């Protein structure tokens, strides 16, 4: 049996106002190429970089959220390599003194988190031209490196997804892999003993699904190589989605080939002397993290785990859910009902109406629908209809219920009358019930719902039927 060892290197573009070493705007949505550039981020000789501390603060927030240790001394280094997307001939990164050391997510330990600048983007056209867009050049990137402690593709994905959640909740990155805002590289080796095997790096992984597939493919491939007496060569491979396999790209440079040295243009920092980087303050100002929310929803609201995960992975839904919970009049014990409406019905409505959903489905609408439902004024079908109608056209729950006759009959006398009618009309069923087959009462409830065109509260009708049959 081979033992698999996986380490992750994850880059995330930080959502700052400006790039890292110049005043150019950091806007991932800017469509016009080379419109957010200046001599610094285009690497003109003699252009002087100056650091924007906003990005440093964001990396420290991430470090704090994963319980990493703040560097006391930190500096930036030049990492040399030649590539068209890196016009200076080096990238400004951090080598010996990363901002954060250690930390963990779940039980997966983190080696370090540092800050560096993103590269420009190469675009290869169908007609064979190679173009460079420098809008991305100099955008602040967080790089997080885990320790080589991950054993399976599934655990790797769990880590990546949790980091994504944390970055979004800290509001430091949107971390969408399909947009390239978050990029995952996997280092993977297998071995039969305690030593590490030869390490292969896999790049171009643009979704968590692909991370898992690539790891599983690579484990098998390396096993086959070793079983056939071969040697796994230390190299960089890429994922080919069409062929569903990894392919060799290039032999990997070792770190001394980058000729790192401290960048003389960027100041060095003693973080403890800088008030805005104070570890205690940053910790104190952290928003609620996924693990806090899980604990809160489970302990205080008894929410189902699957619902909590759906909410956590939909920031807008989660905000809406929390907004409704914070309403003074909202009853804590209705939280699961609210979650049900949000995690089932609303998801399909959001697919259909997109952001428009949030314009119409406000916290008041939701609180109203939930209380009408738990007060038995409307059925769950009625609640769904009301939400669908309001998502599309707007309006208030009570007026829509009125307009579409969705109020349930809860008036005791008329329900009693209905029950008596049904009993009279179904003597054989009544006989069955009297003979002990109580489950057929549901058939009578169905009859009553039909007769009243769905306007009766089924639970009250069932009670009325039971007492009348007795
Ligand atoms: Zn610039």
Instruction: Name the nearest CA neighbour of 396 among 433, 368, 355, 436.
Output: 368
Reference 91, options 146, 33, 143, 28; nearest CA is: 143
Q: Of 349, 358, 409, which is closest to residue 384 (Cα–Cα)? A: 349
Residue whose pair of structure tokens reads 């859910």 in the numeric block: 321
The distance of Cα 316 from the centroid of its chain, to the nearest Å, equals 11
Backbone angles phi, psi at 121, to 5 degrees: -115, 125
Distance, CA 50 to ligand 1 centroid (Å)?
10
Tell how far the Cα of 84 is from the centroid of ligand 1, in angstroms: 17
Position 92 scores a pLDDT of: 97
Distance 19 CA to ligand 1 centre (A): 7
Q: How far is the CA of 49 from the centre of ligand 1 (A)?
A: 9
Q: Pinpoint the residues of the chain covered by CATH 1.10.10.410.
A: 412-469
287-344 per-position pLDDT tens digit: 999 999 999 999 999 999 999 999 999 888 899 999 999 988 888 899 999 999 888 8
The predicted model gives 130-137 an average pLDDT of 95
CA 71 to ligand 1 centroid distance, Å: 27
Distance 184 CA to ligand 1 centre (A): 26
* Burial of residue 195, with CB atoms counted within 10 A of its CB: 0-12 exposed, 13-18 middle, 19 or more buried: exposed
Give residue-wise pLDDT tens across range 269-297: 999 999 999 999 999 999 999 999 999 99
Distance from the alpha carbon of residue 43 to the mean position of ligand 1, in angstroms? 9
> SS in 3 state form for 245-267?
EEEEEEECCCHHHHCCEECCCCC
Gap from CA of 467 to ligand 1 centroid (Å): 79
Joined together, the tokens standing for residue 273 give 């002397």
| Burial grade of 347 (CB within 10 A; 0-12, 13-18, 19 or more) | middle
Query: Residue 258 Cα, ligand 1 centroid: separation in angstroms?
Result: 24
Both tokens assigned to 336: 């699961």
What residues sit around ligand 1, an ion, with C-beta below 5 angstroms?
A: 22, 24, 38, 40-41
Question: Which pLDDT does position 25 carry in this prediction?
Answer: 97
CA of 126 to the centre of ligand 1 (A): 29
Whole-number Å distance, alpha carbon 35 to ligand 1 midpoint, is 10
Check whether domain 412-469 has CATH 3.50.30.50, yes or no: no
What pTM does this model have?
0.84
Ligand 1: distance of its center to the CA of 99 in Å? 23
pLDDT at 256: 67
Determine how β-strand 235-240 pairs with β-strand 73-74: unpaired
* Rg (alpha carbons) of the chain, rounded to whole number: 30
| Cα 28 to middle of ligand 1, angstroms | 14
Please give the distance, rounded to the nearest whole angstrom, from the Cα atom of residue 443 to the centre of ligand 1.
72
171: left (phi over 0), alpha (psi -120 to 50) or beta: left
Distance linking the first and last C-alpha atoms of the chain: 69
Closest to 458 measured CA to CA, from 434, 436, 433, 441? 441
Average pLDDT, the chain: 91
| φ, ψ at 51 (rounded to 5°) | -80, 140
Structure tokens at 130: 């190679």
* pLDDT tens sequence across 393-411: 888 988 888 887 778 776 7
Q: 380 pLDDT exceeds 90?
A: no
Q: Does residue 205 contact residue 214 with C-beta atoms inside 8 Å? A: yes
Q: What does the pLDDT read at residue 440?
A: 85
Q: How far is the CA of 41 from the centre of ligand 1 (A)?
A: 4
Q: Are 13 and 141 contacting, i.e. CB atoms less than 8 angstroms apart? A: yes
- Cα of 137 from ligand 1 centre, angstroms: 8
Give distance in angstroms: CA of 224 to centre of ligand 1. 48
Confidence of residue 469 (pLDDT cuts 50, 70, 90): confident
The rounded distance, in Å, linking the Cα atoms of 29 and 140 is 15
Ligand 1 centroid–CA 125 distance in Å is 25
In the chain, count H helices and then E strands.
Answer: 17, 17
**What is the rounded CA–CA span in Å between residue 212 and residue 157?**
7
Q: What is the SS3 assignment for 9-39? A: EEEEECCCCECCCCCCECCCCCCCCCCCCCC
| Residue 24 Cα to ligand 1 middle (Å) | 4
Ligand 1 midpoint to CA 294 (Å): 41
Cα 329–Cα 332–Cα 338 angle in degrees, nearest 5: 90
**pLDDT value at 240 more than 80:** yes
Distance (Å) from CA 10 to ligand 1 centroid: 24
- Worst-scoring range by mean pLDDT, 35-49, 66-80, 316-330? 316-330
Q: Are strands 3-13 and 200-205 parallel, antiparallel or unpaired?
A: unpaired
- Whether 32 shows a pLDDT value over 90: the answer reads yes
CA distance linking residue 222 with residue 224, whole number of Å: 5
pLDDT digits (tens, 9 = 90+) for 218-234: 999 999 999 999 999 89
Check pLDDT > 80 for residue 217. yes
């Amino acid at each position: 049996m081979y033992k698999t060892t996986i380490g992750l290197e994850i880059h995330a573009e930080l959502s700052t106002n400006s790039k890292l070493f110049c005043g150019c705007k950091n806007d991932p949505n800017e469509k016009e190429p080379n419109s957010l550039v200046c001599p610094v981020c285009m690497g003109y000789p003699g252009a002087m970089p100056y650091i924007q501390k906003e990005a440093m603060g964001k990396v420290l927030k991430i470090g704090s959220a994963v319980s990493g240790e703040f560097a006391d001394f930190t500096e930036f280094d030049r990492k040399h390599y030649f590539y068209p997307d890196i016009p200076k001939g080096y990238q400004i990164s951090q080598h010996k003194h990363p901002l954060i050391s250690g930390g963990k997510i779940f039980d997966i330990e983190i080696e370090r988190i540092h800050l560096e600048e993103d590269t420009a983007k190469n675009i290869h056209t169908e007609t064979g031209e190679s173009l460079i867009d420098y809008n991305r050049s100099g955008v602040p990137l967080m790089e997080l490196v885990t320790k080589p402690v991950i054993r399976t593709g599934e655990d790797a994905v769990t880590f990546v997804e949790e980091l994504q959640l944390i970055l979004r909740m800290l509001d430091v990155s949107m971390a969408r892999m399909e947009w390239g805002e978050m990029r995952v590289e996997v280092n993977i080796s297998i071995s039969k003993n305690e030593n590490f095997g030869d390490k292969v790096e896999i790049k171009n992984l643009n979704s968590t699904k692909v991370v898992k597939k690539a790891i599983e493919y690579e484990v098998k491939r390396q096993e086959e190589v070793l079983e056939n007496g071969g040697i796994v060569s230390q190299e960089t491979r890429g994922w080919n989605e069409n062929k569903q396999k990894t392919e060799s790209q290039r032999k990997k440079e070792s770190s001394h080939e980058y000729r790192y040295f401290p960048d003389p243009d960027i100041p060095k920092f003693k973080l403890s002397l800088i008030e805005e980087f104070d570890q205690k303050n940053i910790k104190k100002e952290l928003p609620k993290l996924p693990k806090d929310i899980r604990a809160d929803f489970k302990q205080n609201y008894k929410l189902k785990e699957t619902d909590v995960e759906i909410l956590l992975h939909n920031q807008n839904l989660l905000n809406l859910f929390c907004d409704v919970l914070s309403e003074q009049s909202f009853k804590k014990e209705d939280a699961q009902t609210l979650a049900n409406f949000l995690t089932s019905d609303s998801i399909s409505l959001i697919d259909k109406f997109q952001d428009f959903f949030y314009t119409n489905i406000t916290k008041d609408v939701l609180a109203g629908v939930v209380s009408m439902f738990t007060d038995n004024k409307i059925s769950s079908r009625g609640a769904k209809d009301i939400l669908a109608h309001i998502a599309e056209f707007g309006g208030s729950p009570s007026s829509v219920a009125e307009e579409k006759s969705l109020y349930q009959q809860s008036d005791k006398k008329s329900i009693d009358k209905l029950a008596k009618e049904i009993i009279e009309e179904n003597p054989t069923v009544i006989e069955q019930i009297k003979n002990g087959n109580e489950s057929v009462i549901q058939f009578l409830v169905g009859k009553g719902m039909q007769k009243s065109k769905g306007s009766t509260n089924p639970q009250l009708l069932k009670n009325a039927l039971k007492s009348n049959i007795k």
